[in-house]
Structure 1
């Protein structure tokens, strides 16, 4: 860690740049912990979310351990009524949204629910739900006798749609299918919606479920990578608003999202080089944020032990920020969570700020790399949470 690179704003306030988003609450659901407070404690104590998943499904799994939640039942958190037919992705996303609302001082009312929406990132929705539904049409006595209640689970926007219905939010409702870049892409989409006046507040994040399908896919693709992180699942969701409006109301956010940039380059080993592309992406994000590279305290990376992807991320970070910048690897706590990874990286940074006022105003960068050559970077400035709300 390069302590001299940190220039915190000890006043707890800073000049708000145009189009800056404020994060005023967040929720997280992982095998490590559920809820922002417990997640913060778990990271501080150095816990691991690795669990025994033997017997979690009727189908065989390639490995006995994963960063998954064998005992997770959404009804234990939200009750049985209305949740019986939710797939796992919807359950994780909805609980993340609910926890984020519980963590913010912004209240949903009839006066603002039309301007309050949801943006969730995903890879392809619930692959298990889609596969199970298709399988039932083939194995049942009649294809048309498949349970119609299960059909909504087969579409990618199920989690965002069901969450909006459950929470009574009538604003923008969007699903961003971005794989590893889903979290950052959802945040960028949300910034544009608020900037253009389509919403005043949004629940923004991403979700990934663990299933035999995701476990076997990862195993077939990366089993030769001895140091790869085991597969995980989870969701992280943030309440985001216009930062200038939040400051004008006398509220202090958990963080400000100063910039989000993405780009598409060559797959690993192909041109144009994604490592150089990531360096350019980080540079553009810092320029938009008005931040110098020397001011960056930490980088939350998506490194997962897959050599060709980690190499791209390492080279991009070192080219843009130098080799000495402190790197935070969220996969050590929550595993490889695919589309939820970027959001969980942000949650790890917020957890670092929550109980540490000495870090107020410190700037961090979040990076993400996908196997197809997609890269992304976000710049955040964080503050601690001294009380149960955000009022100054």
Structure 2
């Protein structure tokens, strides 16, 4: 028990340390939490201390929840919350005016506001419709003056929450996109090298299934990349501070995602074909002497992306070696050994599609290098 508590305390300590020493999710969470607390304090100072408003609680309450993970989400949440609070307040006011009884008004207003709160377009803000109604019904404050103050204090808290989120270290979530962009080529290269080594020695059905499972996980990484890109795009919308933050580098083009979606799909198809080819004799399939160099060269192409001129040159050489191996594989297929035709035909088609996309990737790297040289060269 004590050991578990000590490990948990150590994990918490490491997370706290990362908040102050490393850029990452922990620091982003800490910054947003401190911003939310600061926005609530500022809203209370204005509404409760300086203005001495009768419903001052609504201002910090609204500001606290409007420091969202993106500026766009703060704006959207503010719109939703204002609509929900106003609607809940008006429904409760109308119920009290009709019944002149708190219990009867609750029985009339709460079902309507809870139904409104479950409306999908209002998201998590829908909960505040019955909450706003309960404020009105519990305190019996439903005069025109009270309603006006509720609206003004809600708007004040919303304005403060949005302003704090947009001006104090506005959140930009491009790091995950860049991380996955760097990770995908390395993971693909590692799997291709593993397949090449396995083919060169020998492999069985269990090992081939392991390659296939790894290829499926690569496809999952592309899905994560798409999710991270949507999050990054949202964080750049209506964000006035994205140009001022050095860490807010523009994410790579969405075309990159589509290319790697195809590459990971080709690798998955190759590993599936290899698992199906286990039943064929190695000599009939022709795998050891042809496909292994092809897979290794394809992996070398992805391993050479290090941003240096020599890396691009080595990537081009590796691609040429992979294409030469592909030509040998196609020639082997043309010999027409019937016992190997089904598996070999599928492998040849899969590897050809993979090399076509790797050619596009290497060409894009060359274009990036040319642009970098143009930007770095002195202007006349």
**TM over 0.5, yes or no?**
no
Larger radius of gyration: 2
Higher strand share: 1
Which bin holds the TM-score, normalised by the shorter protein? under 0.3
What TM-score comes out, normalization by structure 1 length? 0.23
Where relative contact order (Cα < 8 A, 6+ residues apart) is larger, the structure is: 1
State the TM-score, normalizing by the size of structure 2. 0.24
